[in-house]
Amino acid sequence: MDILILAAGHGKRMNDLTKTTPKPLLRFKEKNLLSYALELAEAISVKDIHVNVHYHADQIISFINANFPHVKISNESQQILNTGGGIKKVLSQGQDLLILNSDNYWNSDILPDLKLGIDFFNRNSNITNLLFTHANKENFDLHLDSDNQIIIPSSHYNTQFQGCHIIRSHCLKNYLNTFPIQDQWKQASINRTIFGFSCQTSVTHLGTEELYLKHSG
């Protein structure tokens, strides 16, 4: 299994905060957001760590080369591939992928949940996608049924996506090179192969200007 950190987006929901700085390099507490994601990735035993880049790619590449030189860059500078295309490009190397959003505050508290989820995924070959969730009642955005299957589409949200998921290496071979990963999630829901893994620890989401400023204090 490899890890991919999604860091290619324009960060438009951050408004002026990302005019000259890509969202993954915004500072939160004592580090930038990408540092937290990379340090968490390093604490998980995987083959390789990848980061995809597009918006202000040069800044992210420079930071990684200076601080995490072993990390592999998936460069989308010429064309952003959307979430699905970015994942497909790295999946083509043949490893299952654990995917982390870079606009969360990742710390070691979530590590036990991630390790348990990875073990669960590896022991259940019928699962193509595993989404890490938490019952945070303020921000429900997914429907998890009684069998822990993710139901898409649905208007009955009862859990929150944690910005982290796992996908099998073969899942995107028949998809275009540019598409949102939610398209594949919908098909996996029809096939009943996409599941949720309920975490004990809730992750702090910082993907909008409002959330970022709220938690920055």
**For the chain, what are the domain ranges?**
2-216
CA distance 121 to 115: 10
**CB count in 10 Å sphere of residue 21:** 16
**Amino acid at site 54:** H
Contact 164, 97 (CB under 8 A): no
- How many CB atoms neighbour CB 56 within 10 A? 20
Cβ pair 10, 19 in contact under 8 A: no
Tell me whether strands 129-134 and 194-198 are parallel, antiparallel or unpaired.
parallel
C-alpha to C-alpha distance for 103 and 203, rounded to whole angstroms: 11
The pLDDT tens digits along the chain (217 residues) read 999 999 999 999 999 999 999 999 999 999 999 999 999 999 998 999 999 999 999 999 999 999 999 999 999 999 999 999 999 999 999 999 999 999 999 999 999 999 999 999 999 999 999 999 998 766 889 999 999 999 999 989 999 999 999 999 999 999 999 999 999 999 999 999 999 999 999 999 999 999 999 999 7
CATH architecture of 2-216: Alpha-Beta Complex (3.90)
Closest-CA residue to 134 (of 196, 187, 62): 196
Nearest Cα neighbor of 199 from 120, 138, 145 is: 120
CA quadruple 40, 135, 197, 170: dihedral sign: negative
Closest listed residue to residue 208, CA positions, set 101, 99, 122, 83: 101
Specify the DSSP element, H or E, that contains 4. Answer: strand 2-7
* Measured distance CA(194)–CA(215) in Å, rounded: 31
